[in-house]
Structure 1
Amino acid sequence: MMKESFSVVFSKVYQKMLFMVVFGYCFILLSSVMKSVYFMEFMLWDLGGMGLSINLLVDSIGVMFIGTIMIISGSVLMYCYWYMDDEKYFFRFMYLVYLFVGSMMFMILIPNLITLLIGWDGLGLTSFLLVAHYQNSSSLSGSLLTALTNRIGDGLILLSISLWGSVENMWVLYNFSGSFMSVFFICALIFGGMTKSAQMPFCAWLPAAMAAPTPVSSLVHSSTLVTAGVYLLIRAYPVMSKSGEMMLVLKLLSLFTLVLASSAAIFCFDMKKIIALSTLSQLSVMMFSLSHGLVYASFFHLVMHALFKALLFLSAGVVIHSMKSCQDIRSMGNCWANMPFSMVSMFIASCSLSGLPFMSGFFSKDMIVDLVYNSKINFFCFFVMMPGLGLTSIYSMRMVWMVSFGENKVMLGCLSVKEPMKLLIPYLSLGFGALFLGKMMCPITESLIYYSSSSLGEMLVLSILFSLGVVYLSVANWGKGPSYDHKKCSSFLFSMWYLELVTHVIKKMFFDLSKSIYEVCDKGMLETVGPKGVYWMSMKMSCYNENLQSNFFLKSIFFFFIVFSGMIFMMSIVI
């Protein structure tokens, strides 16, 4: 009876999630024809001269982003019912995922900096709880690093709120019309967004958050937490553009993050960490294009990246789940024959990530590259950007090749978990966007920024070059892995140029300082002055009072007897 009832609920939930995906694509198509901007204000209560209201901003960018989140959330929630069905606290996990998605949608629609903090902090809190879901040491370490790093961004947003209110006397950020803006406000806003989007020097928390379950990773690293900072800066671009110095800082830090993530992913063997580093590199591409003023191109790449990155995470999660939680790509292999649907999905997502022509990722990346190269760009940016973008194809195809055709070292006679047919629904939902949505939305974005995409001949040439690269991989038998000296590279590239070590040292110093403050203040001075001191003084007074009152009656009678005897003796002498 329980199985039948659960199957009924399961089918109803699948239908709701499928409707969410369909509505998501409808929202994206609606945003393509949406020309008006709606600004709504809801008064919650009004008390004389004081009141509390919530502002909502509905335009094409917000509707498209909400549609993207609905597609990814519906697909990931369907995936959760297979991946997490044996969890003890399954429904608690699902409620946290719903709260996570709701916080992101709330942040998208709110233009007010103060009420925006509800969604902004909601993302940080729920991400901390979701990353710590498995309740082990690695999950706790990753969740604490994620929470502490994001709290820096929260503090910077609070600082920007105070600075913005002192200049504009309001907190509706997207309605900026002034000619002067404080550099400190722009600096706080940019670094707050960079902290949420894991840009240098706050990029170590993104790979550490891989301790979370794979459905959480697909949400955190595709459409919600890491893109929240990029989305905020896209909305606040009219304010950011007032400071050329801060835009230059954003450009340099994004380029540094791009090279750091790409070089670290080349020599990494953890599948989820490779995908996390690829997310880091694509976020830096968005930030770099934003520093050049390519607002719509950056947002277009954000939407396309969210779709194919979610598909890549889901397919990688199936492989990891089927290999008894093994994440080392050197130990995987021959997955093409055992998991064909997951491998096809992983190949499509990796090709879109690499920018293969006719894929969705190609249209957004090609637009950014062409527009950046046609703008004023110096040789240093060109020299740094080219290797960062080129390495994406190398480590993506290396991962797919080793997982699909490498040597399986897990020593399993059969897979621990078979690939279920029910996963075809989320695969098709996200695969459609990774294949066709870029071509559908590219003409709309071109009309906004007056750009003409690559011709058919150019795309065919690029496709042939990509195919030749794949043939070279098969001839070179890259499934065995690249040959290099691990001792020379592991200490530098594996730790993201020692950034992870520095971050862990800073985290350890923070915890040591917190422990010292706890021992000196909470368990020391405050205990002496506070409850323990009051308790000690009360005990002393109680003991003194107890000693004073012990045998008090007998002592009093003896005292009065001596006094009375002395008085009688004195009177007898006088008489």
Structure 2
Amino acid sequence: MSMLMPLALLKSSSKSSIILFLYSMILMPITLSFVMTNKMIMLEWEILTISTTTFTIPLILDPVGIMFSNIVCLISACVMMFTSSYMSADVFLTRFTWLVMLFVMSMNLLIFIPNMMTLLLGWDGLGIVSFALVIYYSNMKSLAAGMLTALANRLGDVMLLLAIGMTATQGHWNIMFMWNTPMSTMVMVTIMLAAMTKSAQIPFSAWLPAAMAAPTPVSALVHSSTLVTAGIFLLIRFYPFLSSHQLFNQMLLLISITTMLMAGVTANYEFDLKKIIALSTLSQLGLMMMSISLGYPSLALFHLFTHALFKAMLFLCAGSIIHNNSNNQDIRNLGALWTQMPLTTACLNVANLALCGAPFLSGFYSKDLILEVSLTNPTNLMMLIMIFIATGMTASYSARLSMYSLWGPLNHKPLHQNKDEDMLMTTPIMILSFMTIPLGELLQSMTLNFNEDINMPMTYKFLVIISITFGVWVSQYFFKLATNSTPPTMSYPHHLNFSMWTLTMFSTQPLIKQPLYMGAKLHNSLDRGWFEILGGQGTMLTTTNLTKVNQMFQVNFLTTMLMISMATLTAYLILKS
């Protein structure tokens, strides 16, 4: 009993971190066993049968799902340990912890349930809990971002419900056993749109940077292994069915490459630290979608795993920097952090290099393979050019971020001191950094099965390095750009790129400004104008005037009758005399 007393004194976030670490450690040998034996276990409980349709709750235990669940829980444990210090003064920390645990549980339901009907438990759970987490800080910015996030996710929910309705003729909703029907093309389109909304592909990209209004630990979880990866994971699960439609690969390739390019360009114009990292997530999601569209879902899954680790580390490093700089997120107000926060700076550099695909870090093994297979596929030349420009943009905004915040001149407030002394914040960052370095090679052998050697020209192998070098060179231009200008004084191309190619405009208030203005004009001219004159107000005014005339007539009626009577009597007497 005395051994349990220290645990009872821990914060709720620390307790949840311990639980998640234990779950991840227990799951590790199970994961290795399933991967080595390539075993799959399918459990199914029948709930109800109506006519020929059976409602069941299936559960699938396979190497992909168990490995993904392990990574999700490990990252969540690190995030909750970080939260114990980052949000130590928050009065609603227990509520926040429960929301995060619900979020993790929803993601695990999505991973382990292969049935479209019951998959909604995890899919909808992610959408609802993400809304609650984004609006955690009760201010106008958080509420606006939460509403945008919720509406974008609602679109995906509707698409998934349409797919469920159109596949009812099959008598089941198990995604492992889908087959072509007369409506299969529409089912493919709805599933793809559902995945696009969750993974923020064009034109549903605006909610992802807006969701940065949530606390930084939420951003680390959402952008690494949970909400945004749900759409990717759905497409990987559905891939045997979706790939039977040629239209699917063509549409997804165009959308994913455009998203990559847009996110890369926009990140080079952004100055908000968290938004730059969010846009880098959007760029990597486009890369995963591109891998699926090229016919390599296993590579997309591989990059999903490696990206989850270094992206969580990137957000935790950003959270540590923001926490030490009085919640300042503008990279123009940072600088020379390497002299004051060497540990965070080193981990941030590791994460940035892994994001760029620097050799022998975890991101290199997955990103390099995806770019190489794009060269061997029958892809349009313009598409290839866009792919490698987007890859260069990744290196560009990563180098720009480092130049502003880590190596640039000191732009802090006077007498401001940063430090790397909080172990609750630095320990999870170090755990993720130690895993980021060797895990790429380990996961490559676990997730990919090559039956033959792939021989490629040496120029293909150097294309990734050339793209990274080109991106670092381009970052010098963006670093020297007029950085002190504000959006109202920007040039049109600058403003276009800053606003995510107007997606922000078309997804938020400017889209409805003109209809609201026209509505106000119509309200004044019709509801408060002609309709009032011809309707209630006009009728009341006319009735009031007629009533006044009638009242005057009634008041003077007796006098008038007496006058008429007197005049008649007088005339009679005069005539008779």
TM-score (norm 1): 0.81
Q: Which residue of 2 aligns with 1:492?
A: 496
| Farther-moved stretch of structure 1 (485-494 vs 347-356) | 485-494
**What is the deviation of 1:389?**
1.0
Q: Which residue of 1 aligns with 2:354?
A: 352
| Farther-moved stretch of structure 1 (209-218 vs 9-18) | 9-18
> Given that residues 112 and 173 in structure 1 are in contact (C-alpha distance below 8 angstroms), is that contact kept between their aligned partners in structure 2?
yes
Q: Which residue of 2 aligns with 1:136?
A: 139
Q: Which residue of 1 aligns with 2:213?
A: 211
Alignment of 1:65-104 (within 5 A): 65-104=68-107
| Aligned with residue 507 of structure 2, among 497, 503, 509 | 503
Relative distance call for 1:66 and 1:416 in structure 2 (3 A) is same
Alignment of 1:55-74 (within 5 A): 55-74=58-77
For 1:493, what is the secondary structure of its paired residue? helix
For 2:331, what is the secondary structure of its paired residue? coil
Q: Which residue of 1 aligns with 2:226?
A: 224
Q: Does residue 36 of the first structure (1) align with residue 6 of the second (2)? A: no
CA separation in 2, counterparts of 1:55 and 1:34? 22
Q: Deviations over 1:246-302 (max 9, x none)?
A: 321111111111110000011111111100110001001111110111010011111
Q: Which residue of 2 aligns with 1:273?
A: 275
Q: Which residue of 2 aligns with 1:116?
A: 119
Q: Deviations over 1:483-526 (max 9, x none)?
A: 5795224411110111101111476469959x99xx9xxxxxxx
Q: Deviations over 1:203-234 (max 9, x none)?
A: 00000000000000011111010000110011
Relative distance call for 1:92 and 1:435 in structure 2 (3 A) is same
Alignment of 1:456-495 (within 5 A): 481-483=480-482, 487-488=490-491, 489-495=493-499
For 1:492, what is the secondary structure of its paired residue? helix
**What is the deviation of 1:237?**
0.8
Q: Which residue of 1 aligns with 2:325?
A: 323
Relative distance call for 1:379 and 1:134 in structure 2 (3 A) is same
Specify the code of the residue in structure 1 equivalent to 2:137. Y
**What is the deviation of 1:106?**
0.4
CA separation in 2, counterparts of 1:95 and 1:280? 27
Relative distance call for 1:195 and 1:510 in structure 2 (3 A) is farther
Specify the code of the residue in structure 2 equivalent to 1:207. P
Specify the code of the residue in structure 2 equivalent to 1:140. L
> Given that residues 133 and 139 in structure 1 are in contact (C-alpha distance below 8 angstroms), is that contact kept between their aligned partners in structure 2?
yes
Relative distance call for 1:317 and 1:110 in structure 2 (3 A) is same
Specify the code of the residue in structure 2 equivalent to 1:143. G
> Given that residues 24 and 70 in structure 1 are in contact (C-alpha distance below 8 angstroms), is that contact kept between their aligned partners in structure 2?
no
CA separation in 1, counterparts of 2:148 and 2:504? 11
**What is the deviation of 1:405?**
1.7
CA separation in 2, counterparts of 1:458 and 1:246? 27
Q: Which residue of 1 aligns with 2:567?
A: none
CA separation in 1, counterparts of 2:13 and 2:470? 45
| Farther-moved stretch of structure 1 (80-89 vs 401-410) | 401-410
CA separation in 1, counterparts of 2:247 and 2:511? 30
> Given that residues 406 and 480 in structure 1 are in contact (C-alpha distance below 8 angstroms), is that contact kept between their aligned partners in structure 2?
no
Unaligned runs of 5+ in 1: 520-575
CA separation in 2, counterparts of 1:50 and 1:499? 42
For 2:302, what is the secondary structure of its paired residue? helix
> Given that residues 334 and 408 in structure 1 are in contact (C-alpha distance below 8 angstroms), is that contact kept between their aligned partners in structure 2?
yes
Q: Which residue of 2 aligns with 1:127?
A: 130
Q: Which residue of 1 aligns with 2:259?
A: 257
CA separation in 2, counterparts of 1:48 and 1:468? 62
> Given that residues 53 and 171 in structure 2 are in contact (C-alpha distance below 8 angstroms), is that contact kept between their aligned partners in structure 1?
no
CA separation in 1, counterparts of 2:86 and 2:402? 21
TM-score (norm 2): 0.81
CA separation in 2, counterparts of 1:82 and 1:325? 14
> Given that residues 14 and 81 in structure 2 are in contact (C-alpha distance below 8 angstroms), is that contact kept between their aligned partners in structure 1?
no
Specify the code of the residue in structure 1 equivalent to 2:284. Q
| Farther-moved stretch of structure 1 (32-41 vs 364-373) | 32-41
Q: Does residue 175 of the first structure (1) align with residue 170 of the second (2)? A: no
> Given that residues 264 and 496 in structure 1 are in contact (C-alpha distance below 8 angstroms), is that contact kept between their aligned partners in structure 2?
yes
**What is the deviation of 1:417?**
7.1
**What is the deviation of 1:77?**
0.9
Q: Which residue of 1 aligns with 2:316?
A: 314
| Farther-moved stretch of structure 1 (295-304 vs 3-12) | 3-12
CA separation in 2, counterparts of 1:505 and 1:30? 52
CA separation in 2, counterparts of 1:338 and 1:249? 48
Q: Which residue of 1 aligns with 2:287?
A: 285
Relative distance call for 1:456 and 1:293 in structure 2 (3 A) is closer
Relative distance call for 1:398 and 1:20 in structure 2 (3 A) is farther
Q: Deviations over 1:293-326 (max 9, x none)?
A: 1010011111111111001000001101111111
| Farther-moved stretch of structure 1 (138-147 vs 370-379) | 370-379
Identity across matched positions, percent: 36
Q: Number of aligned pairs?
A: 514
CA separation in 2, counterparts of 1:185 and 1:292? 20
CA separation in 2, counterparts of 1:45 and 1:165? 14
Q: Which residue of 2 aligns with 1:523?
A: none
Q: Deviations over 1:417-439 (max 9, x none)?
A: 76412333312321133111111
**What is the deviation of 1:464?**
10
Specify the code of the residue in structure 2 equivalent to 1:77. M
| Aligned with residue 105 of structure 1, among 97, 108, 111 | 108
> Given that residues 197 and 228 in structure 1 are in contact (C-alpha distance below 8 angstroms), is that contact kept between their aligned partners in structure 2?
yes
Q: Deviations over 1:157-209 (max 9, x none)?
A: 0000011112x221111222457662111111101111110001000000000
Q: Deviations over 1:334-361 (max 9, x none)?
A: 2112212211111111110000000000
Q: Deviations over 1:519-574 (max 9, x none)?
A: 9xxxxxxxxxxxxxxxxxxxxxxxxxxxxxxxxxxxxxxxxxxxxxxxxxxxxxxx
Q: Deviations over 1:423-473 (max 9, x none)?
A: 333123211331111111213344257565999999899779979997x79
Q: Which residue of 2 aligns with 1:385?
A: 387
Q: Which residue of 1 aligns with 2:300?
A: 298
